[in-house]
Amino acid sequence: MTSIPLSYVGELTTAQVVAGVALVWLLICHLSAKNLHHIPTKGGPSFPIISFIRLYNFLTHGREIMQRGYQRHKDRTFKVAMVDRWLVVLSSKKLVDKLQKMPDNTVSSATTEILEMPHMFDSNWHKDPVHVPILRNLTRNLTLLFEEMFDKLTAAFWEHIPANSDCWLPVHASPVMNTIVTRVANCMFVGMPTCWDSGYVHMMVHFAEDVSKAVELLAILPGFMKRIVSRKATVIDKRVQQCLDYLRPAIDDQMTMMTRFGKDWVDKPNDLLQWIINEVVAHNQGPEEVARIVLFINFGAVGTTSSISFQNCKARSSNLVYFRPYCRGRSPSLLFY
């Protein structure tokens, strides 16, 4: 029997070493993964050695794979492959309703994984979700803020979608809705004049894009590389500092008041920024964490709301029946696209 000399090991190329490490890591992930064999797979084979085929298929033909999965597995679940996990898709309203009724602490771990929160936001929110009581406080106070929000919404619409009776007015609905929703939401979050500052609004609008790009990048990397890449290849830390530049005067002032007078003082603000500061101080954290939470809440609130608003405008503008009461005797003046 011929033995392989030890000197041969030193002749391995970098590509061979990397391929070997990747193969071992892939096998470990497969063996340690949750048992989801009973859920149908779309996009390629489930066998771990060639599972990168399904990942490539999903990255290049994700829309088609999701559509085929939905059509074939209606009212059931199916799964598609990420690099180090499965993405399970619920394809019926009944299943989605069941998911919505589940307690936050049961399903929050999935959100944490998908958004790469430990790597993206460099925070322990997945272990100690400080933002949860803040959002509950916000929900309870929405009725008190409605009138002010409505006034700001009206002003934002008139500015970005002005009336025009002379000719068709093209409206780039997606960026316009992003800007309007960001302005109005931040009237609740940080107040005037910051919420109307064009630089602040631009930063918040593009932060959602930054997070989406970073999540897509981290999704194709193995776990041991995510921490390194998240610090070097994303702009999240840069956005935190930019946000802090806008909010630091208010944060420093309110933290100083808390240091001098404790939890309560005359004219203490009752807004989201103060609630965030309360939680951050209680956890012995600093202004950077306040900015991080403001960014995170914007990402969750603005992205969803603006997307729904855009789809609603698009659906209505494509159906003239909604315009007939307003268009009698004149042509419609708006065109969403």
Where residue 83 falls among pLDDT bands split at 50, 70, 90?
A: low
Work out whether strand 334-336 and strand 169-171 pair parallel, antiparallel, or are unpaired: parallel
Q: Is 45:56 a contact under the CB 8 Å cutoff?
A: no
pTM of the model: 0.68
Burial annotation 220-236 (CB, 10 A radius, 16+ → b, else e): ebeeeebeeebeeebeb
Name which of 43-47, 63-67, 288-292 the model is least confident about. 43-47
- For the segment 199-245, what is each residue's pLDDT rounded down to a tens digit? 998 888 888 778 877 777 777 676 667 777 776 666 777 888 899 99
Name which of 43-47, 185-189, 190-194, 275-279 the model is least confident about. 43-47
Task: Count other Cβ atoms within 10 Å, centred on residue 110.
Answer: 13
Distance CA 184, CA 149 (A): 6
Q: Is 89:41 a contact under the CB 8 Å cutoff?
A: no
Dmax (CA) for the chain in angstroms is 95
Task: Count other Cβ atoms within 10 Å, centred on residue 61.
Answer: 13
Q: Is 118:127 a contact under the CB 8 Å cutoff?
A: no
CA distances from 126 to 132, 231, 252 (A): 11, 19, 27
Distance CA 259, CA 256 (A): 5
| Vertex 83: Cα angle to 42 and 204 (nearest 5) | 100
Place of tokens 């890449």: 229
- For the segment 182-192, what is each residue's pLDDT rounded down to a tens digit? 888 888 888 88
